[in-house]
Structure 1
């Protein structure tokens, strides 16, 4: 029988045959009596009705229970965050992302495809913090009259008063040049002692024409303060290996600029051109004395400790003791004072060049120093000087094929200068405005979750031996964390200090120079005092976190823990994915040394090197937007902590999801909590792909997104990426 039962039994018989004494129903004879209604038939009908009613009741109960379950699951599941901060964040994500791109093939464009210019996340946040400072500085009646706060507000106001600056013109600058002895360009020049002029430039104007000198902690224990002598910074983008044609064009543009400066200061055109030409010649010769950092590192001469006496013998043109003493007063110096020198050969050659110029062209050397000072002071001068400098930067950028720098508004420059000179005051005002105690508490709770996840993860790292593992866990638990602002910024007595040594006016340039001297004196004084806590290397409104090796401290400024990276009202997925991954990244800097060759002798070297090679290959196989591939040999350490930072933040977030209810998501974004976590991680990295600096320690932004995410199985799982897609490769690396 086709399509029927092949057993030989008819359907509906229950498998009983005639041999069993029962006739099949189609052969049964029905008697007349049997055709009469039976007495039991009504009960049979009622039984059927009862069964129908029971089935209906059960169906109703099941339906009601299902509705109840849906309600319960919806109530316990992630609901949309409808607060204003979440709507603002949603707008940011929609503005930077490109949801038409498949996340499994190009998650960078999915998250950052429309980010242009200042949409670079860190840069945008830094500018937003400066806007907040601007609102504070421009709010009437925000300061205490007669206090240090008042001077900060007055300085900002004078910086913004461009009418007064334009009216003063070059007169305040000419007064400065007269104090330095004048110059032959204007026909009024007194041949003063070279070292006297250099001493004034360094101590009174903060300008170092031939080298840089500043205080810093010693690079090795006991980390006491030491004067460091470095190569100078040049305004001209010359390179050791540069095409002769480009080199000549750069020199011509810079010569034109120096001619403009001399002319604006009333110099005679012929004399200006002659002095400008010799100045650029001196700059070019000094540049030739420089040795690349890589070369000095390879020779083991990254820095050398010498006494002032020893340096005086090797570079005698400079009166080192008197120049340094004037610059770092009241720090007591002696000929036996140790200095940290970064390029001794440069200083020797520089000294020889200065001696030659002193014997042949003393007046030209004076002009060279003054032209350099004018260049550095141009931001505090009137519009003609600033425009000349902007034009130079633009033309040099075109010659070196660097992207043009966008013009910055005046208020931003004034905010930055006020912040530099009056940091204690602005730190307190910013923290009070942008980092409340509840925000700090939420940020510390997030950091604790990240730190605990790292401690837990260290137990499972395969290449660590037991001793190294325990030491690593101890290092993490003993770590200090500084969050928000330094201790002194939260003390009103320090924040409102009088700045008695600052004299504001009569011109903005004079106010600026008075602030330069005051700041230098405060820096020196702070190094001379015993400092019981870590010296912050960033301002509280800055956006750069860092780990300090000497103090074993990790620092997260208040300016970083702001939207779109962090807010107490955000979904946890956002805070863990953005700020949490940044925190984990900084924590992993503790273990940089272990990843270097020979950095962990007791570890399983083969397993460690295998993981690092895997990581290197992983990044080299991810294409860049232009179809090329990136050699990550210079960035492999940061790649390693990028991948580890994401893994640790994800582990901490997953644990938080497991033990805490009430998770939320962003409305109308159609992303689950886990997807929102990865989206928030990528948002931190949003940046135009072509903005990579040559010495950037980080990989290009596309790799900083695709590298860690494609190495994370959970990403492919939550975004349902097909096997073999860019974000779901066939193999992954296990380093952390």
Structure 2
């Protein structure tokens, strides 16, 4: 104590100096000597107690000092952590208070807008590029060297420019020629259509593909769907915008005709008729929402029945050409997504065949040129890029960047050589130790969800047991399909792939080879799950039909995941993504009537609370929020973050030795939330109308502000935007 004149008792306020103890008793004179002796013993005892207490404190301090390095987070000084720190510093804005605007704190660097998912996708393409540009580094199985040869051929722009439009004119001649060129030998319409679809990958009037049905037993079936149109015309579109789009598309078609050597006046007429055919086909389309409301997302019919309803197409011969070596007959069942469209399409083609057969041929040829433009010379590619740019400006879409040649070639490689690229990509970036670490994280997230299900106030006990059972029976595919993780070196993937003499011919051979490979895979015994994404993609998903959740290797990469990262990073980023996908297993419970045995009042209160919670945050000008449209994703975001945090907290209780990023004043818990926000970094001023997620700002602010732990660890004052007085408990 200061001054050194207080006893231990005085120092702790147990007595007052200079004042006798109030309960002190007067003693007779004969007891004075023993009292003095007793006091001496008391002083000795007090001194001994002081020494013992000091020794105990000193010993405890030494013990604590020995354990502090294991408890206090130490900086991660590895290269991967320094690289992660560089990413964080490049995106964050420390001038913004995290309790006020956590999205801007993490993602608000004014010098550069970073989209974490897009950047990761581009980095994965760069990894593939490095693989393809160093073929000598790999031991290739027989046949797989064709992938490298194709890439080199695609990159040989000198040879492609020298060939010009010659290879394309040869393809057109194989289809009977083009009326505008004057060299036209009309083939049977169905013969031309079969060649277009089976040999050249162009589907001008409808799409046909092989895919499992979306309902049990999920058997593979031929599906007939609407075509994909180059021009974004809509049934309900402002006339001024409609006219501008038509003008731009007409300019593009005229350019194609000129590049093919057509007479400008004839090209103009045929291009106008092609737009007229496209416009009429677009009028026949019915939006998916309308078909869903009518309970007609698809109808199962036989090929013979479809022949009667849309007779102008020779369905059996066309489908047989596309899906060789399948054996088809009129009794074969197929799934049709919009039967009314096919009926109207058949009538339109029949009318055009009787009056303007040459215009129908031009329509198919011009569409084919657009499909093949990636394999043509720079004049065709520039015409295509210019069209995309101008249509994007008219429809409010994002700008179309001029991408380097290697990226164009990579996109074609993805379609034609996926087996080879998948095996090489996994070998490069997803080692067994990385897969093991990812599975360990997923197990922790899954266990946290199972534990959390037991405390949900709106879920009854029976539903809780069923939900836990569904989680227990869930399958997980991590990294890549089995065939990529353990490729068969004896497999000859590309026997039917013929390279040259021009790159266009190699491109067309790739179209045929990849389709045949897909068909062969569907004809084999049905596996437990067919991946919907390539291993280098960044899209995780839950498959309802197979009850499997998929996390591709391309997603489990920096900055979302790395075995050498601080665990707070992996749990906050990859862990929250995993929990988000797991919650999609139960999306049906959140829909009206989806959980009859649950407390519907408590559930609706939680859902309405969450919608009000999200709607309370300000958004940039021009960005809208529709809670009824995004509520399933909002629920998965908010619950995913809470489950990942619960799993991380459990991990902290069991293990010591946490690390954090160097030169940062972030605790592990703060780093957890910081890493979650990094996942959501995206241009706040852009909104994709087709995206069912909330805007990026809400995907950050909604979940973190609903977490009391965030406010506690960032010391947010009550009433701050990230520390509201009311929070919602859905998951």
TM-score > 0.5, shorter chain as reference: yes
3-state SS of paired residue (1:634): helix
Matched, 1:170 2:165: yes
SS of the residue aligned with 1:633?
A: helix
SS of the residue aligned with 2:144?
A: helix
The Cα shift of 1:117 comes to 7.0
Are 1:517 and 2:523 matched, yes or no? no
Deviation, structure 1 residue 66: 4.0
Aligned to 1:141, the other structure's residue is in SS state helix
Gaps of 5+ in 1: 1-9, 23-43
Q: Where does residue 384 of structure 1 map in the other structure? A: 379
Q: Mapping of 1:329-348 within 5 angstroms?
A: 329-348=324-343
CA change 1:185–1:116 in 2 (3 A) is: farther
Q: Contact 2:197–2:203 (CA<8 Å) still a contact in 1?
A: yes
**1:12 matches 2:7:** no
Aligned equivalent of 1:578, options 566, 573, 576: 573
Give the whole-Å Cα distance in 1 for the aligned partners of 2:21 and 2:403.
93
Partner of 1:642: 637
Counterpart Cα distance in 2 of 1:75 and 1:483:
32
Gaps of 5+ in 2: 1-15, 29-38
Partner of 1:704: 699
- In the alignment, structure 1 residue 727 sits paired with structure 2 residue 710: no
**Residue 238 (structure 1) aligned with residue 233 (structure 2):** yes
Instruction: Indicate conservation of the 8 Å contact 1:289/1:349, yes or no.
Output: yes
2: CA distance, partners of 1:495 / 1:680: 43
* Aligned-residue offset at 1:67: 6.3
Q: Distance in 1 between matches of 2:587 and 2:117?
A: 23
Three-state SS of the structure 2 residue aligned to 1:226 is strand
Answer whether contact 2:576 2:644 (CA < 8 A) is retained. yes
Give the conservation status (yes or no) of the 8 Å contact 2:141–2:489: no
Q: Which residue of 2 aligns with 1:103?
A: 98
Aligned counterpart, 2:667: 672
Q: How many pairs does the alignment contain?
A: 704
Partner of 1:248: 243
> Do the aligned partners of 1:121 and 1:684 also contact (CA within 8 Å) in 2?
yes
CA displacement, residues 435-471 of structure 1 (integer Å, 9 cap, x when unaligned)? 0111111111111111111111111112112221111
Q: SS where residue 693 of structure 1 aligns?
A: coil
Report deviation, 1:288.
1.2
Partner of 2:136: 141
- Report if the CA contact (8 A) 2:113-2:683 is conserved: no
Structure-2 residue corresponding to 1:6: none
Of 181, 190, 194, the match for 1:195: 190
For residue 13 of structure 1, report the CA deviation from its aligned partner.
5.5
Question: Are the counterparts in 1 of residues 589 and 595 from structure 2 also a CA contact under 8 Å?
Answer: yes
Structure with greater Cα Rg: 1
SS of the residue corresponding to residue 620 of structure 2 reads coil
2:312 paired residue number: 317
- Cα shift at 1:121: 0.8
Aligned residues of 2:566 and 2:661 also touching (Cα < 8 A): yes
Number of the residue aligned with 2:563:
568
CA distance in 2, matches of 1:286, 1:170: 29
**1:219 maps to what in 2?**
214
Partner-residue secondary structure (3-state), 2:488: helix
**In 1, Cα distance between the equivalents of 2:94 and 2:122?**
26
Give the CA deviation at 1:418: 1.3
Relative to structure 1, is the Cα distance of residues 537 and 315 closer, same or farther in structure 2, using a 3 angstrom cutoff?
same
**Alpha carbons 1:148, 1:425 under 8 Å: kept:** no
- Would the aligned equivalents of 1:620 and 1:629 in 2 still touch at CA under 8 Å? no
Compute the displacement of 1:571 (Å): 0.5
Q: CA deviation at 1:140?
A: 4.2
- Counterpart of 2:605? 610
Alpha-carbon RMSD: 2.5
Q: CA deviation at 1:597?
A: 1.0
Q: Is the 8 A contact 1:622 1:629 kept in 2?
A: no
Indicate the residue corresponding to 1:555 in structure 2.
Answer: 550
Shift in alpha-carbon separation, 1:326–1:388, aligned structure 2, 3 A:
same
Name the residue aligned to 1:595: 590
Contact 1:623 1:629 (C-alpha < 8 Å) held by counterparts: no
Alignment of 1:647-658 (within 5 A): 647-658=642-653
- Number of the residue aligned with 2:32: none
Compared CA separation, residues 111 and 184, structure 1 to 2 (3 A): same
The TM-score with structure 1 as length reference comes to 0.92
Q: Is the 8 A contact 2:623 2:686 kept in 1?
A: no
Q: What corresponds to 2:272 in structure 1?
A: 277
Aligned pair partner of 2:355 in 343, 353, 360:
360
Question: What is the CA-CA distance between 1:401 and the residue it aligns to?
Answer: 2.4
1:380 deviates by 0.8
Give the alignment partner of residue 284 of structure 2, picking from 259, 280, 289: 289
